[in-house]
Amino acid sequence: MTRPTALIAEDEPLLAQALQAELARAWPELSIVSIVGDGAAAVQAALLHRPDVLFFDIRMPGQGGLEAAADLAEAWPLEWPFPALVFVTAYDQYAVQAFDAQAVDYVLKPVQPERLRKTVERVRGLLARRATLPMDATLEQLRQLLASSSSVPAGAAQAPLKVIQASVGNSLRLVPVEDVVYVEAADKYLRVVTEAGEVLIRTPLKELLPQLDPAVFWQVHRGTVVRATAIESVLRDEAGKLSLALKTRPEKLPVSRLYAQLFKAM
């Protein structure tokens, strides 16, 4: 019987060492195949080693654990069972509530041995039946967690956005939301694309999303939101990947595996 394997993604070396040491006590059979310090490296290492369990720090430089898990789910070979996900987090009421709601396990830092033993017990049970768990279940968990991370806290609801303000040179351009075809993340900016052109804004997508009507604007990729009525057709390539053809723009927009459920009829 092969030993279970795990990958640790934690940007603080002392905390990574502490987690590894406590895992050695709580789960002696577990082999740590790699320890990395950022989300991008975690995705690469996971695709290389294909571990059974992922311990992802929720906050890391550049790309956090949740975003790294979403990218990994997009690239993961469908013929392989997806790893069991455990997020590592300092105590945060909203994060813990979100993890509990989606039945995603988590480890609080600094590592608490008793809590870690419970996590190990749950993960072992998950691995025992992992071959029967569909990828769709993991994708749904990640969708809900990503949505909760970008939602507005209770009591701070915002009115639906009517106009997007963008600086263009020395002037301020006002783009009516009803003219927007899609919004796409681009480095540190967001491209706000209309039929006639585009502007750049600095507002992060996770801050803009709660101000857009989800019945009107559909998220089709972690970095892309499109007006539903602007979609002409949905295309599927030979590899099964989906993309969107638009009514008034020539570009095709890729649909990530995470959001492909919007077009399940295909």
Q: Quick one: pLDDT at residue 135? A: 86
Residue 28: pLDDT above 50? yes
Residue 266: pLDDT above 80? no
Task: For residues 191 and 252, state if they share a domain.
Answer: yes
**pTM score of the predicted model:** 0.83
Q: What is the DSSP string of 201-230?
A: E---HHHHGGGS-TTTEEEEETTEEEEGGG
Has residue 98 been placed in a domain? yes
Task: For residues 199 and 94, state if they share a domain.
Answer: no
Task: For residues 144 and 170, state if they share a domain.
Answer: no
Has residue 157 been placed in a domain? no
Task: For residues 108 and 174, state if they share a domain.
Answer: no
Has residue 243 been placed in a domain? yes
Domain-terminating residue out of 122, 150, 178: 150
Structure tokens at 57: 């720090």
Stretch 211-237: mean pLDDT? 95
Give residues with Cβ within 8 angstroms of 137, minimum separation 6. none
Our CA dihedral for 129, 19, 143, 253, rounded to 10 degrees, sits at -110
CATH number at residue 196: 2.40.50.1020
Which of 62, 45, 43, 38 is closest to 5 using CA atoms?
45
Radius of gyration of the chain (CA): 20
Give residues with Cβ within 8 angstroms of 211, minimum separation 6. 158, 159, 160, 161
Task: For residues 92 and 200, state if they share a domain.
Answer: no
Q: Give the integer Cα–Cα distance in Å for 246 and 266.
A: 17
Q: Quick one: pLDDT at residue 258? A: 93
Regarding predicted confidence, which is higher, 62 or 19? 19
Task: For residues 105 and 170, state if they share a domain.
Answer: no
Range list of β-strands (E), the chain: 5-9, 31-36, 53-57, 84-89, 105-108, 163-168, 171-176, 180-186, 189-194, 198-201, 217-221, 224-227, 231-236, 242-246, 252-255
Please provide the size of the chain in residues: 266
Has residue 238 been placed in a domain? yes
User: How many Cβ atoms are within 10 Å of 67's Cβ, its own excluded?
Assistant: 20
- Specify the number of domains making up the chain: 2
Span 91-113, pLDDT tens digits: 677 677 878 877 678 888 889 99
Q: Quick one: pLDDT at residue 246? A: 98
Has residue 156 been placed in a domain? no
Task: For residues 61 and 104, state if they share a domain.
Answer: yes
Stretch 177-182: mean pLDDT? 97
Q: Give the integer Cα–Cα distance in Å for 18 and 109.
A: 10
Task: For residues 73 and 146, state if they share a domain.
Answer: yes
Task: For residues 259 and 140, state if they share a domain.
Answer: no
**Host domain of residue 41:** 5-150
Q: Quick one: pLDDT at residue 146? A: 87
Task: For residues 114 and 31, state if they share a domain.
Answer: yes
Regarding predicted confidence, which is higher, 253 or 265? 253
Task: For residues 80 and 10, state if they share a domain.
Answer: yes
Stretch 126-155: mean pLDDT? 77
Q: What percent of the chain has pLDDT over 70?
A: 93
Stretch 56-76: mean pLDDT? 92
Has residue 255 been placed in a domain? yes
Asked if 106 and 96 touch (Cβ cutoff 8 Å), the reply is yes
CATH number at residue 13: 3.40.50.2300
Q: Give the integer Cα–Cα distance in Å for 163 and 168.
A: 15
What mean pLDDT, rounded, does the chain reach? Answer: 90
Stretch 6-22: mean pLDDT? 96
